[in-house]
A and B are shown apart, each in its own frame.
Chain A
Amino acid sequence: MSEMKTPDARAEIPDPMIDASLRLPLLALFGGAAFWLVVSSVLAMIASIKFHAPDFLAACPWLIYGRVQPAADDALLYGFCIPAGLGVALWLVAQLGQAPLRGAIVPVVAAKLWHLGVLVGLIGILSGNSTGFAWLEFPRAGSVILFFAYLLLALWAMMNFAARRERALHPSHWFLVAALLWFPWTYSTANLFLVAWPVRGVVQGIIGWWFANNLIFLWLALVGVGTAFYFLPKFSGRPLQSYYLALFAFWTLILFGTWCGIPPGAPLPAWMPTLSSVAATLTVVPVLAIAIIMWKTLRGPTSGCNITPAPLSSLSANEVGGEGRGEVASLSLNSNPLAPSPLPAQAGRGSRQQSQAAPPTNCEPKGGPFCFIRFGFASFVLSSLMFIAMACPRISRVTEFTWFGPAQTQLQLYGFFAMTMFGAIYHLLPRVVGVELPFPKLARLQFWLSMSGVLLFIVPLAIGGVEQGMKLNNPGIAFMDATNAMLPFLRTSTVGLLLILLGNLLFALIFFAMTFVWGKSLLKKAHAIVTAPLKNQEVKA
């Protein structure tokens, strides 16, 4: 029972050394991630416009649909999601373990290497050198770079984990450390058996599905849920409800989730899709357990609205928030000299209505990191349920091969994972860089753009996908009619992509504005150092 209390009762000592030690690695990881995020939405936009005008950019082989679409997907997954997830994991591991990162130069180099790998991979896809496997399209050169960059980053995170001063494990630890170990195994298996020494025939398909499921469903779930398990208790001012439920969710998620992914209609011996469908059905258990944990953590009596657009002040406001007081208050203690004075406490009153989408009062519950993470969490539950539904043979008969699948993937990648990462980054970046979030209102605007964008993208595609599936299952309806019926939905989703593109541009703008302000302050400091001795000499003279 002792460990049941430790994770949340721990006193996190505000250690500027920890944040400072992570500064350069995180800037390298997030900087490239912000860039690829914009690239991915531009590519996705180009792909989507082709459904309005098939001739659009058709003369240029680099920009045809079959290359641009996988490039957009991979830029989002490998360019943004994984480096952002690794960055947040590095920060969380250091924060939870109260140990500064040593030898930060290695993760900086690894981050640059990772983004180089993404560049090589994307050029490979666009120039027609894709491997042809979904989510593994990067040609060999790109995959090798990615793999070693990941190993270095994960190794440093693990070393930091091993060197932690706070020995008790937080539930976030399980999820994040498991994710760190998960990727090298799946990625190397897929690359060795599909690209380097390809297995024969349909086994390629099986390994491809296994890999995609373990990366997109499981790796993202581990990192995203691990992140949310750290942040939501902080924002709500209540401990995670509860330790044992989280343990149960962790075990069931990795035990069942890893077997999902083989579609029921696959041309395989029947035991494989059947086993996968059973595993997917069982995955309802961890998804519901995680939903219950979140619900109980957020909806308790002491949960308060303590979110402001500027995350630093949000934590200060949290001081009065209730049970989480000890850790949170200590965190907000001048860990950042630029932090504004705490805002008037908003906590403890009207918590329920404010944590819903109530009209913004002066505490502005929308747009803070909390809203990103809360929306991300809701998307996690919904996208996981969609994923599980698609593994059910009855439903799969309709949704397989339709736009329902891409809608689910987008909800998983963007609605759940990217949104959770946005929230985490908006929270941790000001601390790490030591600069206040420059345009808090823009961050709020980004939340609205990204949220409505992802909804406008996935809702039409999911509904249209079901309709398309029912039409395809009726041989009386010509194929062309079923396809054309999809066009209005596809065209609506373009609007969603446009909003996502704007949201991503805002994110990149905020990020680079912050690094710019930081760089300027660095220059000022350097300038001060350079000019200071001169002045002294003048005074002496």
Chain B
Amino acid sequence: MKNGFWIFIAVFLALGGSWCGFVLAPELQLGGAKQTTVLNTSDVYPVGRPGEATQGSSVYRANGCAACHTEQVRQTGMTCGVTLTEAGKNPQAVTNLISSLVLINLTKEAADAASAKITAGGGKTEIHITATGPDIARGWGMRQSVAEDYLYDQPVQLGSLRAGPDLANAGARADANWQLLHLYAPKSEVKGSAMPPFRYLFEVRKIGREPSPDALKLPPEFAPPAGYEVVPRPEARELAAYLLSLRANAPLYSAPISP
């Protein structure tokens, strides 16, 4: 390469190529994505988060929760099972047929084949799909995360490190009270937790004429001194609302599971 012009051409070709591939093409493919429907229903997915949870997403961003928590569940595969729902007119034949077939831990194709045989014998069947993988075995979700799950997130906070557990389905695991207690004193809820306490999201104040109904009911070793109470500030409520809104379990065409 003899002059600067060629360097410019090289940069233009290389970076322009990847720009088209990883900026333009994904935007064309996914940027106009709309809500989809939950598999076998007419429910739309995803539904937007309630207002408080949307504000909570901004608390999550401001405090850098994504530095330690991911919001994506991985799946290594899936297994299918065939269940007989109706024996039909000739139960004996169907029973004989079933005893000759393997009906659990099947691939999708094998399950379809088994189901077709039973249906041909007069029975009616249902196929159950279960996602597999360590994340799912840990109870972090029922299926893998897919692009649809993030449609309304701003910003999308996928995270890249699991210093803490995955939160893609945090809302399905605990209630608001647990979230608030855990935010104020993580060790009160999870023994040996390495999460720093977020006490500045709470107010420790003198109990007025009567205790606040919102005051946290903390175990004695984490409780404030007598005569004081811990009340969540709006940020804490919003963050808890956001965590409760994290649910990505709906069966979708791109991530089929049986509910």
What's the tally of chain A residues with a CB closer than 8 Å to chain B?
88
Q: Which residue of B lies closest to A3 (CB)?
A: B2
Cα–Cα, bound, A474→B134 (Å): 6
- CB under 8 Å from chain B, chain A span 457-495: 472-475, 479-480, 483-484, 486-487
Judge whether B17 and A130 touch: CB under 8 Å.
Answer: no
Judge whether B198 and A206 touch: CB under 8 Å.
Answer: no
Contact of B198 among A64, A169, A198 (CB under 8 A): A64
Which of chain B's residues have a CB closer than 8 A to the CB of A265?
A: 72, 74
Report the minimal beta-carbon distance from B131 to chain A, rounded to whole angstroms: 13
Q: Which residue of A lies closest to B69 (CB)?
A: A66
Cα–Cα, bound, A205→B191 (Å): 33
Cα–Cα, bound, A51→B162 (Å): 14
Which of chain A's residues have a CB closer than 8 A to the CB of B197?
A: 54-55, 58
Residue B91 at the A interface, CB < 8 A?
A: no
Contact of A178 among B10, B64, B144, B156 (CB under 8 A): B10
Which of chain B's residues have a CB closer than 8 A to the CB of A402?
A: 161-162
Residue B62 at the A interface, CB < 8 A?
A: yes
Q: Which residue of B lies closest to A71 (CB)?
A: B64
Residue B253 at the A interface, CB < 8 A?
A: no
Which of A11-19, A251-259, A522-530 forms part of the interface with chain B?
Answer: A251-259
Which of B18-26, B104-112, B208-216 forms part of the interface with chain A?
Answer: B18-26
Judge whether B15 and A61 touch: CB under 8 Å.
Answer: no
Does more than half of chain A's interface fall in helix, strand or loop, or is it mixed?
Answer: helix
Which of chain B's residues have a CB closer than 8 A to the CB of A335?
A: none
Cα–Cα, bound, A442→B161 (Å): 37
Cα–Cα, bound, A196→B18 (Å): 21
Judge whether B11 and A210 touch: CB under 8 Å.
Answer: no
Cα–Cα, bound, A194→B155 (Å): 8
Which of chain A's residues have a CB closer than 8 A to the CB of B42?
A: none
Interface centre among B65, B72, B157, B196 (most CB of A within 10 A): B196
Contact of A200 among B15, B63, B151 (CB under 8 A): B151
Q: Mark B186-209, 1 if CB is under 8 A from A, else 0.
A: 100011111111111000000000
Residue B150 at the A interface, CB < 8 A?
A: yes
Judge whether A205 and B158 touch: CB under 8 Å.
Answer: yes
Cα–Cα, bound, A401→B197 (Å): 22
Which of chain B's residues have a CB closer than 8 A to the CB of A203?
A: 26-27, 30-31
Residue B85 at the A interface, CB < 8 A?
A: no
- CB under 8 Å from chain A, chain B span 123-148: 134, 137-138, 144-148
Judge whether B64 and A65 touch: CB under 8 Å.
Answer: yes
Judge whether B4 and A162 touch: CB under 8 Å.
Answer: yes
Which of chain A's residues have a CB closer than 8 A to the CB of B67?
A: 65-66, 69-70
Judge whether B196 and A254 touch: CB under 8 Å.
Answer: no
Report the minimal beta-carbon distance from B150 to chain A, rounded to whole angstroms: 5
Which of chain A's residues have a CB closer than 8 A to the CB of B70?
A: 401
Which of chain A's residues have a CB closer than 8 A to the CB of B196?
A: 50, 54-56, 58, 64-65
Judge whether A169 and B15 touch: CB under 8 Å.
Answer: no
Known A178-B7, A201-B150, A202-B150; contact A132-B61, beta-carbon cutoff 8 A? yes
Judge whether A132 and B198 touch: CB under 8 Å.
Answer: no
Report the minimal beta-carbon distance from A332 to chain B, rounded to whole angstroms: 29
Which of A185-193, A292-300, A310-318, A420-428 forms part of the interface with chain B?
Answer: A185-193
Which of chain A's residues have a CB closer than 8 A to the CB of B113?
A: none
Known A474-B134, A483-B194; contact A202-B156, beta-carbon cutoff 8 A? yes
Cα–Cα, bound, A435→B157 (Å): 49
Judge whether B161 and A401 touch: CB under 8 Å.
Answer: yes
Judge whether B134 and A473 touch: CB under 8 Å.
Answer: yes
Cα–Cα, bound, A203→B23 (Å): 8
Contact of B21 among A59, A199, A275 (CB under 8 A): A275
Judge whether A269 and B147 touch: CB under 8 Å.
Answer: yes
Residue A75 at the B interface, CB < 8 A?
A: no
- CB under 8 Å from chain B, chain A span 264-296: 265-269, 272, 275-276
Residue B226 at the A interface, CB < 8 A?
A: no
Report the minimal beta-carbon distance from A128 to chain B, rounded to whole angstroms: 4
Judge whether A201 and B194 touch: CB under 8 Å.
Answer: no
- CB under 8 Å from chain A, chain B span 1-39: 1-4, 7-8, 10-11, 13-15, 17-19, 21-23, 26-27, 29-33
Q: Which 8 A-B pairs have the closest CB atoms?
A: A66-B64, A475-B137, A128-B62, A132-B61, A254-B14, A258-B18, A132-B155, A267-B145
A206-B23, A254-B14, A406-B161 given; name 7 further pairs at CB < 8 Å.
A65-B68, A67-B63, A128-B62, A201-B156, A203-B27, A259-B17, A472-B134
Q: Can you list 21 A-B pairs with a CB-CB distance of less than 8 A?
A: A70-B64, A177-B8, A200-B30, A200-B33, A201-B31, A201-B33, A202-B150, A203-B27, A205-B156, A210-B19, A254-B14, A265-B72, A268-B26, A272-B22, A400-B74, A472-B134, A475-B134, A475-B137, A480-B193, A483-B194, A486-B163
